[in-house]
C-alpha cells in the first residue's frame, strides 16, 4: 500500500480576557487527539483495517490568578467530545470454506475479494476532564511553566454494520446476512504533564526547552460490546507511557518580525507486538521552522512548517476480526510487512489584541 495517511484540517481558537490586574478568564476550543488512516479496499491487510478515524473536540473554559509578580496559577474544565469510526473487510471466503469447503465457482475461497464482506463500527460520546497550570517568572529574561491535564474517560455509543455479498448469503443458505447491532466501547484519553522553559539571551536571541509526559499506559485494550449478547470484540493494546523532549530558538529580527526553529524527539507508546495498521508508528523526530509578524500593534500573524520523520519498523500480527465472527474457529489472516513514513504539518495563526 503506497499511502495510508490522510490529510486533516485541525482548527482551533483561544480567547483571553483580563478582568483585573490579578484575574483573567479564558476559553480554548481545540482538538487534543486525533487519528486518520485509510488503505485501499483491496490491500493485503484489508481484514485488519481499511479506514480508522478518531475526532476529538475540547471546549476548555479556564481561570488564571496572579498570586504575586512572579507566580501565576490557573485551572480549567474540559468538555470533551469524541467520535470514532473503524472499518475493515471480512474474510467470508475463509468462514464458508471452513464450514462447507471451498466453492470456487461462487468465488468462495479463502481470502478471495469476491467473497469479502465489510464491517463498520462507529460511536461517539461527551465527557469531562480538568487541567491545572502554573507559571513562575524568575526575572524579565527567564520563566518556567508547568501544566497537567487529567485523563478523560468516554463511553462511545453507536452501532456495528456488516455488509455481506449476495454470493455469500446464497452459499450460506441465509445463515450469513447483512446486520446492524448496537455497540458500546470505552475510550480513555490519557493524562499529560507538560513543562516548558524560556530564557532570553543578551541581544536578540532566546532559547526554549520543553518536555511532555503522556500516560498512554491507560490504553490497554480496544473492547467493543454488542447489544445482542454475542462475545465482545477485543484487541489488546498494552501501550506504554512516553516522553517528548523539545529544544527551540527564537531570533528577533526586528520589532515586528521574530524567526523560530526547533527540534523534538517523540517516543512511540506502541510496543513491537502491538503495532497494527490502524496505528502503526515508531519514534518520531520533528523539525520545525516558523515566524511571527506584527502587522500592527493589535494584529500578529504566525506561520510555521514542521516535518516529521517516522522510524522504519516491522509489523507481524494475526487478524482478530474473523476469529471473533466465527467464535474463534479460524486462525485468521496474518499480516507481515514493513512501514516507512513521514508527515508534513502547515500552521497558520492570527492573534488579535483588543
Please state the φ and ψ torsions of residue 298, each to the nearest 5 degrees.
-110, -10
Residue 106 cell numbers, joined? 461462487
- pLDDT digit string, tens, across residues 108-150: 888 888 889 999 999 999 999 999 999 999 999 999 999 999 9
Cβ contact 29:10 at 8 Å: no
189-198, 265-274, 322-331: range with highest mean pLDDT: 189-198
Q: Is the pLDDT of residue 204 over 80?
A: yes
Q: Among 72-81, 85-94, 104-113, 203-212, which is the least confidently predicted range?
A: 104-113
Q: Is the pLDDT of residue 325 over 60?
A: no
Distance of CA 66 to the CA centre of its chain: 34
Burial code (b: 16+ CB inside 10 Å, e: under 16) for 166-190 equals: ebbbebbeeebeeeeeebebebebb
Contacts of 15 (CB under 8 A, 6+ apart): 26, 27, 28
Q: Is the pLDDT of residue 245 over 90?
A: yes
Half-sphere exposure of 65 (CA within 13 A, CB side): 4
Contacts of 49 (CB under 8 A, 6+ apart): 37, 39, 86, 87, 88, 276, 277, 278
Cβ contact 47:204 at 8 Å: no
Site of grid cell 476469529:
323
Q: How far apart, in whole angstroms, are the C-alpha atoms of residue 273 and residue 288? A: 31
- pLDDT digit string, tens, across residues 263-302: 999 999 988 776 778 877 789 999 999 999 999 999 999 9
Q: Give the SS3 label for residue 34.
A: strand
More confident of the two residues 43 and 61: 61
**Would you state the pLDDT for residue 228?**
84
Give the pLDDT band of residue 337 (cuts 50, 70, 90).
confident
Helices and strands (DSSP H and E) totals, the chain: 3, 18
Cβ contact 283:311 at 8 Å: yes
Q: How far apart, in whole angstroms, are the C-alpha atoms of residue 225 and residue 222? A: 10
**Distances in whole angstroms, Cα of residue 258 to Cα of each of 68, 197, 218, 295:** 29, 18, 39, 12
Amino acid at each position: 500500500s503506497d499511502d495510508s495517511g490522510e490529510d486533516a484540517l485541525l482548527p482551533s481558537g483561544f480567547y483571553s480576557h483580563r478582568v483585573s490586574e490579578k484575574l483573567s478568564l479564558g476559553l480554548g476550543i481545540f482538538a487534543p487527539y486525533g487519528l486518520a488512516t485509510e488503505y485501499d479496499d483491496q490491500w493485503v491487510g484489508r481484514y485488519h483495517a481499511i479506514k480508522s478515524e478518531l475526532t476529538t473536540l475540547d471546549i476548555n473554559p479556564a481561570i488564571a490568578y496572579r498570586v504575586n509578580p512572579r507566580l501565576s496559577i490557573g485551572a480549567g474544565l474540559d468538555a470533551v467530545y469524541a467520535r470514532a469510526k473503524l472499518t475493515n473487510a471480512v474474510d467470508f471466503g475463509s468462514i464458508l470454506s471452513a464450514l462447507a469447503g471451498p466453492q470456487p465457482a461462487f468465488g468462495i475461497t479463502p481470502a478471495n475479494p469476491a467473497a469479502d464482506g465489510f464491517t463498520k463500527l462507529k460511536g461517539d460520546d461527551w465527557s469531562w476532564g480538568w487541567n491545572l497550570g502554573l507559571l513562575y517568572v524568575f526575572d524579565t529574561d527567564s520563566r518556567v511553566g508547568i501544566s497537567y491535564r487529567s485523563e478523560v474517560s468516554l463511553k462511545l455509543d453507536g452501532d456495528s454494520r456488516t455488509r455481506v455479498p449476495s454470493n455469500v448469503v446464497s452459499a450460506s443458505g441465509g445463515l450469513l446476512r447483512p446486520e446492524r447491532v448496537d455497540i458500546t466501547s470505552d475510550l480513555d484519553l490519557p493524562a499529560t504533564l507538560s513543562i516548558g522553559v524560556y530564557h532570553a539571551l543578551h541581544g536578540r536571541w532566546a532559547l526554549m526547552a520543553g518536555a511532555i509526559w503522556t500516560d498512554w499506559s491507560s490504553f490497554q485494550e480496544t473492547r467493543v460490546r454488542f447489544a445482542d449478547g454475542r462475545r465482545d470484540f477485543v484487541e489488546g493494546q498494552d501501550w506504554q507511557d512516553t516522553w517528548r523532549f523539545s529544544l527551540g530558538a527564537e531570533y528577533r529580527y526586528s520589532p515586528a518580525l521574530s524567526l523560530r526553529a526547533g527540534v523534538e524527539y517523540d517516543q512511540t507508546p506502541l510496543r513491537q507486538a502491538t503495532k497494527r495498521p490502524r496505528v502503526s508508528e515508531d519514534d518520531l523526530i520533528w523539525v520545525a521552522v516558523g515566524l511571527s509578524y506584527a502587522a500592527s500593534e493589535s494584529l500578529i500573524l504566525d506561520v510555521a512548517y514542521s516535518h516529521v520523520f517516522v522510524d522504519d519498523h516491522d509489523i507481524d500480527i494475526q487478524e482478530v476480526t474473523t476469529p471473533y465472527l466465527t467464535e474463534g474457529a479460524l486462525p485468521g489472516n496474518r499480516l507481515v510487512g514493513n512501514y516507512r513514513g513521514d508527515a508534513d504539518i502547515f500552521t497558520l495563526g492570527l492573534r488579535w489584541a483588543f
